[in-house]
Chains A and B, each alone.
Chain A
């Protein structure tokens, strides 16, 4: 039996070729097609998300207060609303969120 074929004679050599400048052109085409903005999540996404949520919750809480104020109209409605908004604004983010939570879970307010 003859000696086994030695793959190291060929190594990584291949018969395949590519046209001149092929890789550069393909890179540009891919750059055009991906819209120049590869989708990688922005840093500190987790830190940004709760802040955005807090603002959304605070906005919803204001809406809830406005709704409550409208349930009990008074002669001085405009003044009451302003005072409620001012009072709400003075609350910490946590307290605002807590108020919103109560509003969301209170069946009597919502129905």
Chain B
């Protein structure tokens, strides 16, 4: 756990509102964007983020000082995101979840379609298998270490690193093929 995270937890014990604001200030936006990149829809990302933090605050007592606090929060967020994706898959009876996510990308109200290159990059990420998607997002956007990523995706650090590099190669290939 980083010194900053230890400080936040310590403040939470003395002044719950101040600690809450500090924790939200540090993690709310990164966690929302992490979930959003996975579920695409703003409404679903909002629900999953809210549920993530409710769970985080109700289970803070379970965090151990030796553990990475960031990895713990991201793991809860990832579970919430996949819970939504599983429910979506069950609703649509569509076996190809990545296609379903790309459809969401094309339909969401809060997507800027004028920035085509970024839309294409998200399509490339969404076309990857879940572990590669997670490894890429957590490394590229959230800049987490491979140890933390491994803890989140349930793999070894070496496997997390391999997943990231394979994902990056696939994304570059996708972008090469889809560039105008």
Residues of A in contact with B (beta carbons under 8 Å apart): 2, 4-5, 7, 9-10, 12-19, 22-23, 26-27, 29-31, 33-34, 36-43
Contact = CB atoms under 8 A, between A and B. Distances in A.
Contact of A17 (B46, B110, B119, B171): B110
Interface in B101-123: 105, 108, 110-113, 115, 117-119, 121-122
A22 B36 CA distance: 14
A5 B13 contact: no
21 contacts: A2-B176, A5-B175, A7-B140, A9-B117, A10-B117, A12-B140, A12-B141, A13-B118, A14-B122, A15-B113, A16-B122, A22-B46, A23-B32, A26-B28, A26-B46, A27-B28, A30-B53, A33-B54, A36-B17, A39-B59, A40-B60
B36 A16 contact: yes
- Max count, chain A CB within 10 A of own CB: residue among B9, B12, B57, B171: B57
A15 to B, nearest CB: 4
A77 to B, nearest CB: 48
Interface of B: 9, 12-13, 16-17, 19-21, 24, 28-29, 32-33, 36-37, 40, 42, 46, 49-50, 53-54, 57-61, 105, 108, 110-113, 115, 117-119, 121-122, 140-141, 168, 171-172, 175-176, 179
A36 B12 CA distance: 11
A3 to B, nearest CB: 9
Contacts of A38: 12, 16, 19-20, 57-58, 60
A16 B20 contact: no
Nearest to A3: B176
Contact of A34 (B20, B110, B140): B20
Contacts of A34: 20, 53-54, 57-58
What 9 A-B pairs have minimum CB-CB distances, sorted nearest first? A5-B175, A38-B57, A34-B57, A15-B118, A17-B110, A30-B53, A15-B112, A40-B60, A15-B119
Given A5-B175, A40-B61, A16 B42 contact: yes
A39 B28 contact: no
B59 A10 contact: no
A32 B119 CA distance: 35
Contacts of B121: 7, 10
B122 A15 contact: yes
A16 B12 contact: no
A38 B21 CA distance: 11
Given A2-B176, A7-B172, A39 B115 contact: no
